[in-house]
């Protein structure tokens, strides 16, 4: 968007948890007006899933509020959404930037100093995002997600193909980030099992999703992850770090690489 309709921040996310919708970390939802997923979702056939966009419009104190509201209305007119789901808040820019830290302080105030975060970040090909949606958002995930699920579309040509990151072989793919917190051992096992089921689903459905910042326990898994990039990746490792001093914790080069000829 250009000119007056230009937005300064846009984030997509999915909500499947009744409790999470009124505790979003940036406080866009109003505590004085609690929301029920079921009340917003009765007629769209999405099975209790809300697909949300969060955006900000920055302004200076001298900016007239009425004109700002008009600019936001201009943006909203171009979107298809449930009118009852629109919530706004007005806060200082620094408070917006500090919203995640405030959520951390809230956890610490409850004595939760070291909360495990069983996060899972996936690159999902655009051609299979609807299959992923049906199998994961409307299938595997229940009403116990314990954290935000963010979604960002990506253009492959924006990524430097010389680096080691592995992306799907499509022009457009989605980063789907499951950023959950486990408040106890039971929740940790539940979320870890959910992550395993999501990965197994992608594998069985041949979605060819790629993990971002993955954690594998065998070199064969790393080789499968890098695919055609493995030989190049290994050659660079042997050239620049032949003694394998760096990144030993990932165990990428712990065993003899079978793919090398």
State the architecture of 120-211 in CATH terms.
3-Layer(aba) Sandwich (3.40)
pLDDT recorded at residue 70: 85
**Residues 49 and 137 sit within 8 Å (Cβ to Cβ):** yes
Q: Say what the pLDDT of residue 173 is.
A: 97
- What percentage of residues in the chain have a pLDDT greater than 70? 79
191 and 180 Cβ atoms separated by less than 8 Å: yes
Residue 69 vs residues 4, 64, 81, 86, 161: alpha-carbon distances, Å: 11, 9, 18, 13, 42
**Stretch(es) of the chain classified as CATH 3.40.462.10:** 3-109, 120-211
Let me know: does 18 contact 40? Beta carbons within 8 Å: no
Judge whether 37 and 50 are in contact, CB under 8 Å: yes
Dump pLDDT digits (tens) for 116-152: 889 999 999 999 999 999 999 989 987 666 678 899 9
Question: Which positions of the chain have pLDDT values less than 70?
Answer: 1-5, 17-47, 63-65, 112-113, 143-146, 255-261
Do the beta carbons of residue 208 and residue 128 sit within 8 Å?
yes
Start-to-end Cα distance in the chain? 50
Q: What is the third-level CATH fold of 3-109?
A: Vanillyl-alcohol Oxidase; Chain A, domain 3 (3.40.462)
Q: Kindly report the number of other CB atoms within 10 A of residue 63's CB atom.
A: 12
Bridge-based pairing of strands 50-56 and 9-15 is antiparallel
Predicted TM-score of the model (pTM) = 0.81
**CB 130, CB 187: distance < 8 Å:** no
Which tens digits make up the pLDDT trace of 68-100?
A: 888 888 889 988 888 877 878 888 889 888 887
Give which of 26, 71, 33 is closest to 53, Cα–Cα: 26
Q: State residue 257's pLDDT score.
A: 45
Q: Do the strands 149-155 and 120-125 form a parallel or antiparallel pair, or are they unpaired? A: unpaired
Phi, psi of 178 (to 5 degrees): -95, 100
Of 226, 204, 31, the C-alpha closest to 128 is: 204
pLDDT at 261: 39
């Amino acid at each position: 968007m250009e000119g007056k309709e230009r937005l300064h921040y846009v984030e997509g996310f999915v909500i499947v948890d009744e409790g999470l919708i009124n505790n979003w970390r940036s406080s866009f939802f109003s505590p004085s007006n609690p929301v029920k997923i079921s009340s917003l979702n009765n007629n769209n056939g999405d099975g209790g899933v809300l697909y949300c966009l969060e955006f900000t419009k920055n302004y200076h104190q001298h900016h007239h509020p009425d004109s700002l509201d008009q600019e936001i209305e201009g943006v909203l007119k171009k979107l298809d959404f449930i009118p009852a789901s629109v919530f706004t808040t007005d806060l200082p820019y620094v408070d917006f930037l500090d919203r995640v830290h405030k959520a951390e302080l809230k956890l610490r105030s409850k004595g939760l100093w070291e909360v495990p975060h069983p996060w899972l970040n996936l690159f999902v090909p655009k051609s299979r995002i609807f299959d992923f949606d049906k199998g994961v958002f409307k299938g595997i995930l229940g009403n116990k997600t314990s954290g935000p699920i963010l979604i960002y579309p990506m253009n492959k040509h924006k990524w430097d193909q010389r680096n080691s990151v592995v992306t799907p072989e499509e022009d457009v793919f989605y980063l789907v980030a499951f950023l959950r917190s486990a408040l106890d051992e039971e929740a940790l096992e539940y979320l870890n099992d959910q992550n395993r089921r999501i990965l197994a689903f992608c594998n069985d459905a041949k979605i060819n999703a790629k993990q971002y910042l993955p954690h594998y326990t065998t070199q064969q898994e790393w080789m499968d992850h890098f695919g055609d990039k493995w030989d190049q990746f290994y050659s660079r490792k042997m050239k620049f770090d032949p003694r394998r001093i760096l990144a030993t914790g990932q165990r990428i080069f712990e065993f003899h690489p079978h793919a090398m000829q």
